[in-house]
Amino acid sequence: MLSNLAVRDIETLVHPYTNLATHREVGPLVLERGEGITVYDSAGKDYIEAMAGLWCTSLGYSNQELVETAYEQMKKLPFTHIFSGRSHDPAIELAEKLKEIAPVPISKVFYGASGSDANDTQIKLVWYMNNALGRPHKKKIISRLKGYHGVTVASASLTGLPNNHIDFDLPLPGILHTSCPHHYRFAEPGESEQDFSSRMAAELEEMILREGPDTVAAFIAEPVMGAGGAITPPDGYFEKINAVLAKYDVLFIADEVITGFGRTGNMFGTTTYGLNADTLSCAKAITSAYFPLSAVMINEAVYEVLVDQSRKIGVFGHGNTYAGHPVGCAVAVKTLEIYQRDKIVEHVRAVSPTFLRCLHKLAEHPLVGEARGVGLIGGIELVRDKLTKAPFEGKKGVGPKSVFFAQGEGLITRAMGDRVAFCPPLIIKEGEIEEMFARYERALDKTLDWAKAEGLLA
């Protein structure tokens, strides 16, 4: 029987990324509090948060320094905007710190409230810049199949996942999608990672040439594909992509919304994988998700265009109410301070071998075809036949079933089809990592028994 809270939820909320019909029958998991890497539901049951919320709660739950920072800023200046030349110290200090730690030369920072609006801003800046430079036809933006860049009309167009497009009349014209660089799933038989990367780069170049280099403005990529399945790039991929983009004067937008601030074992995934980025989008771990905040970091060339056009038009006509919110900026400044003071990146490097060892061990399970990751992010792919890599029928919901069983074991993770991701808070310890994967192994065993009973295996 559903609790009173569950009934109230069903009658009041529309949940993102949820089967709304099924939700009316089973109701929500209502969480009440969190501490460290653990959250507790309304009945008091504990769960290891193996997804850091939505790839974001990097410093875990109930960090009192962040709570107190938000409280103190709310007492001092709970809100002001940065329209029309206004400013405040937290916004300035945060921008200075972001410029200091940026993985590529950065001139200025533009604030928003989410990764989606950051990538929406990236699209507008690309179009604005090329109009200003007298290149009105150089507007097309290339993303990748299975890439994830947000859910606004424009950023959802960049996202390369069918469920973000079906019946939303997306993607918008001028947004293109090149191949997904997932070696396990899309490589030809016997094709090495380097050869596969060469083919991916060649396909990108073919697309640019087919569309016309004078019409292609930008390419956007996550260093590690998040909602597409926690997919790490194959060897040599970004090196080869960099060369193609440079050849045809195509701007490189790095989407660091998930990989920024230590997740891959460097402060940014751009450093881990050598992206020659011109601009970057950040959000999520910038505040450890304690306050909605995003940042678009742009280089001097892009900034100069914005200044020239502002001089010409009279205003830079873009922004939102909560851009540079003082509470969010103050929390972000404190978050960056904690990353540095507590050597969070070094901690990720220290515990990553344990994380990857446990992740790779899952590949021994009869249901797991691939297990791969970097730093403290990784994914597995559940398959019907390990030898042939034959997938399950999507409608069977094997990945979601494993997540359901994991929840019963006290573990919250996320299925994207039959890929299951692991992205715990960066403060996780080695023993906690081992317990996290032990809980999922038990869930996998239950999933295997269920799949056998349902006759789903080859």
Q: Do the beta carbons of residue 324 and residue 91 sit within 8 Å?
A: yes
Query: Do 435 and 395 fall within a single domain?
Result: yes
Does residue 33 belong to any structural domain of this protein?
Answer: yes
Residue 1 is predicted with a pLDDT of 77
Query: Do 399 and 263 fall within a single domain?
Result: no
Query: Do 55 and 70 fall within a single domain?
Result: no
Q: Do the beta carbons of residue 191 and residue 90 sit within 8 Å?
A: no
Query: Do 155 and 274 fall within a single domain?
Result: yes
User: Which phi and psi angles does 21 have, rounded to 5°?
Assistant: -70, -50
Does residue 458 belong to any structural domain of this protein?
Answer: no
Does residue 195 belong to any structural domain of this protein?
Answer: yes
Query: Do 97 and 23 fall within a single domain?
Result: no
Q: Per the omega criterion (within 30 degrees of 0), is the bond before 171 cis?
A: yes
pLDDT for 323-346, tens place per residue?
999 999 999 999 999 999 999 999
Residue 130 is predicted with a pLDDT of 97
> What CATH number is given to the structural domain containing 354?
3.90.1150.10
pLDDT for 65-93, tens place per residue?
999 999 999 999 999 999 999 999 999 99
Does residue 149 belong to any structural domain of this protein?
Answer: yes
Residue 458 is predicted with a pLDDT of 67
Q: Which one of 280, 312, 341 terminates a domain? A: 341
Query: Do 47 and 93 fall within a single domain?
Result: no
Q: Which one of 325, 341, 357 terminates a domain? A: 341
Residue 400 is predicted with a pLDDT of 96
Range of the domain at 305: 66-341
Query: Do 142 and 225 fall within a single domain?
Result: yes
Query: Do 120 and 267 fall within a single domain?
Result: yes
Cα-trace Rg, the chain = 22
Four-point Cα dihedral 155, 161, 166, 169, nearest 10: 30
Query: Do 277 and 357 fall within a single domain?
Result: no
Q: Do the beta carbons of residue 291 and residue 74 sit within 8 Å?
A: no
pLDDT for 285-323, tens place per residue?
999 999 999 999 999 999 999 999 999 999 999 999 999
Does residue 152 belong to any structural domain of this protein?
Answer: yes
Does residue 219 belong to any structural domain of this protein?
Answer: yes
Residue entry with tokens 């996290």: 436
Does residue 194 belong to any structural domain of this protein?
Answer: yes
Residue 2 is predicted with a pLDDT of 85
Does residue 381 belong to any structural domain of this protein?
Answer: yes
Separate counts of helices (H) and strands (E) for the chain: 16, 15
**pLDDT under 70 in the chain at which residues?**
458
Q: Which one of 303, 320, 341 terminates a domain? A: 341
> What CATH number is given to the structural domain containing 310?
3.40.640.10
Query: Do 169 and 315 fall within a single domain?
Result: yes
The b/e string for 338-366 (b: 16+ C-beta within 10 A; e otherwise) is: bbeeeebbebbbebbebbbebbbebeebe
Residue 340 is predicted with a pLDDT of 98
pTM: 0.96
Query: Do 181 and 294 fall within a single domain?
Result: yes
If one counts the domains in the chain, the total is 2
Query: Do 87 and 76 fall within a single domain?
Result: yes
